[in-house]
Structure 1
Amino acid sequence: MTEEKKTAIELGSNIDIAMQRFLHVQQGAQNSGLISFAEYLERAGENPISAVRNIFQVFHDLINDFVVKGVDEYPDDPESIGYADYDTSQLFVEGADNPFFADRLFTNRLVTLAENFRHGTQQNKIYIFKGPHGCGKSTFLDNLLRKFEQYANSPEGCTYEAVWRLDRELLGNFTEKETDRFLGKLSNLLDEYELRQSDLIEAQKVAYQGDQFIEVPCPSHDSPILMIPREYRRSFFDDLFKNDETKWKLFTEKQYEWVFRDSPCTICTQIYEALLSRLKDPLQVLQMLFARHYRFNRRLGEGISVYNPGDKAIKQNVLGNEMLQGRINGLLRDSNQVQYLFSNFAKTNNGIYSLMDIKGHNVERLLELHNIISEGVHKVEYIEEKVNSLFLALMNPEDEESIKDLPSLSDRIEYIKIPYILDLRTEVEIYRNAFGRHIDDRFLPRVLHNFARIIISTRLNQSSPALMEWIGHPARYSRYCDEKLQLLKMEIYTGNIPEWLDQSDRKGLTARRRRRIINESENEGVTGFSGRDSLRIFGELFSTYAKEGAMIDMATLCSYFRKHEDWMKLIPAGFLDSLLHMYNYTIMQEIKESLYYYNEEQISRDLKNYIFAVNFEKDSEVDCIYTGNRLKVDENFFAPIEARLLAKDADRERVLMFRKSIQKEYASRTLTQELRLEGKEMTETKLYQNLYERYVHHLKEKVLEPFLENENFRRAIKDFGKEDFKTYDNRIRNDVTFLMDNLCEKFDYSRLGAKEVCIYLIDNELAQKFAKE
């Protein structure tokens, strides 16, 4: 056998395998076969929640299945408002050509909307997602509808629609005249092709069988369950479903009221009545009722229709099927019994009807929806067509003028705000998606997030009544926040309650106050840098300053914005200075924490000895019962310990008052209650823990002395990682290495980042500046 023949055989075999596999997958994907009404009822009995649901419930299930349950960082807080951090990446990001990043504020609104669909009575409304240009509205809706289409066509999200399969034999309508017509045609075929008589008989059977059924799909995609006459449904379901929690939900929860309230479309009603009139038996009528998966197809307008402002209105909005109408008329022998007429709205009944921006021709479509949304019905010639769709629309704030003259429609509109991103974590995630996750390696820690804070500051209101009522005097937090409290608001919007708040303010953050702060976001995010602006500004910064072996720091970031006067007009006055001060103070605390090391055993011994010694007269010599150390109680003993417990400028009177307060606390509570009654160890007592915090705090205040006084230490930091670093003495090398290791371990700096942040501190003389505060 030649090589060419072998290749041809192998290719043919591969083609067969590929085609068979494709056929198997395609058949499994379609899964659109009809099932009898009895089989549908069996499935409904096994899983009523899945088989009996309308578009609103499917939308809820989509959100519930694709939005990962949110994390509430403060679940045990009695003042929690359930403001959770939901993950929407499966819904809007994964598999999307153009990902949409939903911030925490918008995600909570979307989840709340879906929960309302599930737990409330659905009524015809139009849900308008309103937001400014560049906020990602179109991307949001495109991705949402794409995922909805996938979900609705999957086993998890499928719903069922009614299909009538009219049986000529059961209706006794296949007459002798029609049979003779078939035989005549087949006789001609016999003459032409010389078929045997047996072939004629078989062909007759095929023709008869093929023309025995007429399939009439419900153009409004009604659930088969609605074909049971409304007055009988409650008792029917009572017999169908077993007595359990699911049945109780079906009969009592508002989300299922439609099952007992809604009527089928006019066409299905006409078919049911015509068949019942002919057969006189409801069970025989229901034998012709079948169910199939409701297949959604946005491109064909089945289940999902999306209209852009430039799409012209369809002139002929009355649809039908002449061939099917003729067959129905012939079967029922009455052309007036069933009129197979419907509109475009029927194609999205129990589906989603969407308007991309309320402008252009979409204004006309919204006006056309007026009566439908208000009454739930639509006139198709002389037939009333019910419409129960999920109406969605997008709108820019300025386009609201186009519907202001429709006050009767206003109570049927529910706005969901979709502003510019106000959650800094989401803003940063957008940069990572657009430019790659490697951008983190080009910024010192927190500088990338501070870029996002600057962008978001332009989108927030200049004043916050809710925050001012809560905090009162922002100057108290000048180290951590700006005077307009925007930095604090950004933390609240991300779900974080800052640790730097004092205890009284933390307790003062009640649920009512927190809701007021969150609710202020409803009127924010409509001005300032748009999403497109922020990506452009970031791209310019990154391409200009992100260099190999160097990292973008706060000084670079601030100078970059200050060079653009038009940008500075949008950034609140004083915000950059406050952000820089907060950043500098934060890294100072990190470097202090990383430099600090002290023998914990020595701290414990000093504090235990001090607590014991304050109970004795001056110049006494005693043995401490907690350490076993022999103590001489004099100023030489007290001075070094009190230097780490009190401020530098503490006078003699304050020192003595402090000792007296320690002795009183020890005698009245520590010794008598905690040590003797409760059996605590000394290190577990409240007095010891308070003194420990003081002691460590003052030790850390002194750790910056190498930055202030030791030039060799500062030079060693700049030479860290270079050959010259080996020329420094062991102590400096050990101290610098200890500092770098701690910055990396405790605060997630890279080796380069740890060095760069120390150089930033040295170059900007931050140690000297904060030493004066």
Structure 2
Amino acid sequence: MSNIDRAMVHLNRKISERETNHSISFDEFLENLATRPSLVVRNAFQAFHDMVREYVSVERDEYPNDPESIKYVKYDCSRLFVNGTDRPFFADRLFANRFIQHVDAMRSSARQNKIYIFEGPPGSGKSTFLNNLLLKFEEYSNSDAGMRYEVVWKLDSRGLEQSRHDMPDLSGNHNGNRERGPELLEIPCPSHDNPLLLIPREDRHSFFDELFQNDEFKQKLFSSKEYEWLFRDIPCTICSSLFDSLVQRLPSSLDVYRMINARPYRFNRRLGEGVTIFNPGDKTLRMNVLGNDHLQNRLDALLGDASPVRYLHSSHAKTNNGVYALMDVKAYNAERLMELHNIISEGIHKVEDVEENVSSLFIALMNPEDAKSIVDFQSFTDRIEFIHMPYVMDLNTEVEIYRNTFGRHIDDSFLPRVLHNFARAIISTRMGTNSPALLEWIYEPERYGQYCDHNLQLLKMEIYTGHIPSWITEEDRKRLSAKRRRRIIDESEREGVTGFSGRDSLRIFGDFFTAYARSNKLISMSNLVTFFTKWRTDLNEALPEGLLDSLIRNYNYSVLQEVKESLYYFNEDQISHDLLNYMFAVNFEIGSVVVCRFTNDRLEITEDFLRSIEARLMGTTVEDDVRLAFRRETQKEYASRTLTQEILVEGKAPQQTGLFRSLHDSYVHNLKGKVMEPFLDNANFRRAIKDYDTVAFNMYDKRIRDDVSFLINNLCAPRFHYTKQGAREMCVYVIDNDLARRYPS
């Protein structure tokens, strides 16, 4: 074979694999149904749910063992909205959780007679979101994993003509004078009906009872609401009238089913098959009645002119069991939305004097100001499911948008945390300055003045990313119940409609990056503050009062913790030993002598013994009543959950329990608070940091060289992502600003 022949054979194989569209008999379809029921028995809503769940994965839940968890998890939506798209859409954590909740609800039949309107301000990415979503739905529906079957009739003209030979010709013509056509007449169902709908509705229960084994799927089929459509829906008027006509003409219903085939439902947005989307400027059709004269003539020739089969349908049939979408509800799309009222409510559309079934997933995009076009129709608004789609509120997603637009190399120009602090400044303009949910949780915001703003916006941003800051006290951490956390997340439904839009933020970031990016110096917090307060004072007016000062305080605290952690030497075995002894000892009275079941140590339970470990857990200045309350709470947690549930029932090692991890965090936190004390007044330590990675560094004492090298190497490790230059600059910043004394442990 020549190179051309090989290339063409390869191309033919690839296209054949991708575009196969052969039909199978009804018997073969039932064989597929019996072996893969959950894939074959799917309507548009179930397929859409499966598509989203196929492309979206759960990346992490930061607090999986938290009894107060609200399952606010990090979803990886890149395969759905980013990969393989012309314009990526970045779903932040808030929107991803909101979207997945609605998608899961779509799977049940109770949520299917609705239109889903994604409402958000201009510049929130609605159009990009919908285009990418429909692109992936089309891709998935044409794949093996997403394939669904539709009806295609293959009428045996010889058998039908023989059946008509003995029937009176009501038209007055002689049957034998009609022109004989091909032996098989192929008639596709224009509404893309699932072949199972051609089983009479009253017979479906007994049919499936015979077909399926008594397994999990059969139980779900007969009891779950998501499969109610299979027992409720009827085939389109064309298929049902054709079925009825054939039953009357053929000896047995088996002869009818031999003429029913199934083929893959092929989606093609450009042709409006399975997926169609209308822009506001797309004019409505004057005649929304479609037919096929040639096919109608052939049907009349086979079945007789008096046949009730009329091959008429509307454009809605092309997206039945697919997606019908409106890009912005305005102009002509506002008219289309109102025309959908009866279709969505009843699932029926009138085509001349024929009723047409419509069971599509209806999606629309809307700006908040356009909602007035539907507020006067209460019966319609009951059929609308609004999904809030604001500007990005998750700072990690905002940063990812900058990286996608300007290139991932931008990280190399910033000191760690500065890029994210720029995102915090932008997002603050999109948030409310009053949060009843946060104020109900944090009674006195001023207690956190060293780490947070007085409006608690920085705290809310952290919670929106799924993170609870380490500077929250243990008492407040325990008061963060699931109900309180849910109320905080729910406030995002009213945010993100004002402030800097997505387009604004990209333009502002471009100005900032251009102004300060240099090859020999990293962009710092002072650059960020200067940009907003001196370079672009107009932008500073849009920021909440005091936000920049709070960002600096939060930044100072955060980098100090990084430096402390990077300096920290610890003996993990000794810490673990102390904590296991303490967990065991708090269960016994003072004066007892016991052997710890975890360490085999012989323990004398004295006040001094318990107090010595509690000092490392809580510090030496804690009042006795607070310390004793902590001891009682530890004992209660150990007895009610740690021992009885996690160790005895779940088989966890004591070091894997939630109580141990909590005690470990407190122990380490208090040790780290003192780690910088030896270096606070040591001028040689500061100079050695500046001279690190130079010849002059070798002139310092070995202990200082070891400490500085240990510090810099830890800051450059993957956990903190500093470069050597950035680590040196940050350490000098911490020392020169005396942050260790300004932020005592």
TM-score for both structures, normalised by structure 2: 0.84
Instruction: State the distance in 1 between where 2:489 and 2:673 align.
Output: 38
Letter in 1 for 2:710: F
Q: Does residue 461 of structure 2 align to residue 461 of structure 1?
A: no
> Equivalent residue for 2:136?
147
- Aligned pairs, number: 674
Q: CA RMSD in A?
A: 3.4
Choose which of 195, 205, 208 in structure 2 pairs with 1:224.
Answer: 195
Partner SS state of residue 394, structure 1? strand
CA contact (8 A) 1:561 1:567 kept: yes
Question: Does 1:88 find its partner at 2:77?
Answer: yes
Q: Which residue of 1 aligns with 2:686?
A: 714
1:491 to 451, 457, 462: 462
AA at the equivalent of 1:499: S
Report the equivalent of 2:588.
none
Q: 1:422-461 residue pairs with structure 2 within 5 A?
A: 422-461=393-432
1:418 aligns with 2:352: no
Larger radius of gyration: 1
Cα distance in 1 between the residues matched to 2:665 and 2:287 = 81
Identity percentage of aligned residues: 55
Q: Which of 668, 674, 696 is the matching residue for 1:699?
A: 674
Distance of 1:377 and 1:599 partners within structure 2: 72
Distance 1:145 1:91 in 2: 10
Is 1:515 the counterpart of 2:486 in the alignment? yes
Distance change in 2, residues 1:738/1:401 (3 Å): same
Take 1:20 and 1:33, find their aligned partners in 2: how far apart are those partners?
20
Could you tell me which residue of structure 1 aligns to residue 86 of structure 2?
97
Query: 1:196 — aligned with what?
Result: none
Shift, 1:437, TM fit: 1.7
Q: Go from structure 1 to structure 2 and tell me whether the alpha carbon gap of 1:699 and 1:255 turns closer, same or farther (over 3 Å shift).
A: closer
* 1:620-675 Cα distance to aligned partner (Å, 9 max, x none): xxxxxx9xxxxxxxxxxx9xx99x9757xx9xxx9xx99xx99xx9xxx9xxxxxx
- Tell me what 2:319 maps to: 348
- In the alignment, the residues of structure 1 paired with residue 310 and residue 46 of structure 2 have an alpha-carbon distance, to the nearest angstrom, of 31
1:750/1:515 CA distance change after superposition, 3 Å: same
Greater Cα offset, 354-363 or 756-765: 756-765
> Kindly tell me: are residues 744 and 37 of structure 1, through their superposed partners in 2, closer, same or farther at Cα, counting changes over 3 Å?
same
- Which one of the candidate residues 576, 579, 588 is aligned to 2:560? 588
In the alignment, does 2:238 pair up with 1:267?
yes
Superposed displacement of residue 254, structure 1: 0.4
Q: Kindly indicate whether the alpha-carbon contact (under 8 Å) linking 1:592 and 1:701 is maintained by their aligned counterparts in 2.
A: yes
Partner residue of 1:245? 216
More moved, 736-745 vs 338-347: 736-745
- CA-CA distance at 1:119 after TM superposition: 3.4
Secondary structure of the residue aligned to 1:570 is coil
What is the SS of the residue equivalent to 1:703? helix
How far the C-alpha of 1:603 sits from its partner, in A, is: 11
Q: Distance in 2 between matches of 1:603 and 1:180?
A: 100
Equivalent in 722, 726, 743 of residue 749 of structure 1: 722
**2:385 and 2:119 mapped to 1: Cα distance?**
10
Contact 2:267 2:274 in 1 (8 A): yes
Distance 1:703 1:418, change over 3 A: farther
Deviations 1:363-418 (A, max 9, x none): 01111111111221111111111111000000111111122222221000000111
Distance in 1 of aligned mates of 2:149 and 2:575 = 73
SS at structure 2 position matched to 1:740: helix
Between the aligned partners of 2:97 and 2:575, the Cα distance in structure 1 is 48
Paired with 1:543 and 1:93, the residues of 2 have a C-alpha distance of: 26
Give the CA deviation at 1:435.
1.7
- Residues of 2 paired with 1:355 and 1:442: CA distance? 42
- In 2, the alpha carbon distance for the partners of 1:344 and 1:572 equals 51
**Residues 133-172 of structure 1: pairs in structure 2 closer than 5 A:** 133-172=122-161
**1:559 match: secondary structure:** helix
Q: Distance in 1 between matches of 2:673 and 2:431?
A: 38
**CA offset at residue 710 of structure 1?**
4.0
d(CA) in 2 for partners of 1:116, 1:534: 33
For residues 29 and 427 of structure 2, the distance between their equivalents in structure 1, rounded to whole angstroms, comes to 52
Distance 1:600 1:18, change over 3 A: closer
**Letter matched to residue 569 of structure 1:** E
Aligned 8 A contact 1:121 1:257 in 2:
no
Q: Describe the shift of the 1:158–1:599 C-alpha distance in structure 2 as closer, same or farther (beyond 3 A).
A: closer
Aligned pair 1:68/2:90, yes or no? no
Partner Cα distance (1:67, 1:444) in 2: 32
With over 3 angstroms needed to count, the CA separation of the structure-2 counterparts of 1:767 and 1:367, relative to structure 1, is same
* CA deviation after TM superposition for structure 1 residue 493, in Å: 1.0
Q: CA deviation at 1:598?
A: 8.4
Any conservation in 1 of the 2:712–2:724 contact (CA below 8 Å)?
Answer: yes
- TM normalised by structure 1 equals 0.81
Q: Distance in 2 between matches of 1:692 and 1:400?
A: 54
Paired residues of 1:126 and 1:414 also in contact (CA < 8 A): yes
Q: For the Cα contact (< 8 Å) 2:150–2:262, is it kept in 1?
A: yes
Question: In 2, Cα distance between the equivalents of 1:690 and 1:422?
Answer: 29
Aligned mates of 2:195, 2:230 — CA distance in 1: 11
**How far is 1:262 from its partner?**
0.5
Deviations for 1:41-80, whole angstroms, at most 9, x for unmatched residues? 1111111111111000000100111111342222221111
Assess, with a 3 A threshold, how the Cα gap between structure 1 residues 181 and 395 changes in structure 2: closer, same or farther.
closer
Relative to structure 1, the CA distance from residue 306 to residue 482 in structure 2 (aligned partners, 3 Å threshold; closer, same or farther) is same
Q: Quote the offset at 1:717 in angstroms.
A: 2.7
Q: Secondary structure at the match of 2:500?
A: coil
Amino acid at match of 2:214: N
Q: Which of 545, 548, 557 matches 1:576? A: 548
Alignment of 1:513-592 (within 5 A): 513-563=484-534, 564-592=536-564
Stretches of structure 2 that go unaligned for 5 or more consecutive residues are: 166-172, 577-600, 602-611, 636-653
Q: Distance in 2 between matches of 1:294 and 1:122?
A: 23
1:565 counterpart letter in structure 2: T
Measure, in 2, the Cα distance between the counterparts of 1:689 and 1:13. 70
In the other structure, the counterpart of 1:368 is 339
Q: Please give the secondary structure, in 2, of the residue aligned with 1:581.
A: helix
| CA apart distance, 1:762 | 4.8
SS in 1 for 2:88: coil
Alignment of 1:662-673 (within 5 A): none
| Secondary structure of residue in 1 paired with 2:678 | coil
Distance change (3 Å), C-alpha of 1:685 and 1:554: closer
Closer, same or farther in 2 for the Cα pair 1:381/1:129, shift >3 Å?
same
1:226 & 1:535 partners in 2: Cα distance? 51
Moved more, 737-746 or 467-476: 737-746
Task: Tell me how far apart the structure 2 counterparts of residues 221 and 600 of structure 1 sit (CA, whole Å).
Answer: 64
Compute the displacement of 1:479 (Å). 2.1
Alpha-carbon deviation of 1:723? 3.7
**Residue type at the aligned position of 1:64:** R
Deviation sequence 1:219-258 (CA, Å, 0-9, x none): 1111110011111111111111122111111111101101
Q: Which residue of 2 aligns with 1:738?
A: 710
Deviating more after overlay: 447-456 vs 733-742: 733-742
Change (3 A) 1:335 1:587: same
User: Conserved in 2, the CA contact under 8 Å of 1:595 and 1:738?
Assistant: yes
Distance 2:660 2:90 in 1: 49
Shift of 1:590: 2.5
C-alpha contact 2:114 2:385 (8 A) present in aligned 1: yes
In structure 1, what residue type is equivalent to 2:65? D
Q: Counterparts of 2:291 and 2:532 in 1: how far apart (Å)?
A: 62
Once residues 248 and 225 of structure 1 are traced to their aligned partners in structure 2, the CA distance between those partners, rounded to angstroms, is 18
3-state SS of the aligned residue for 2:472?
coil
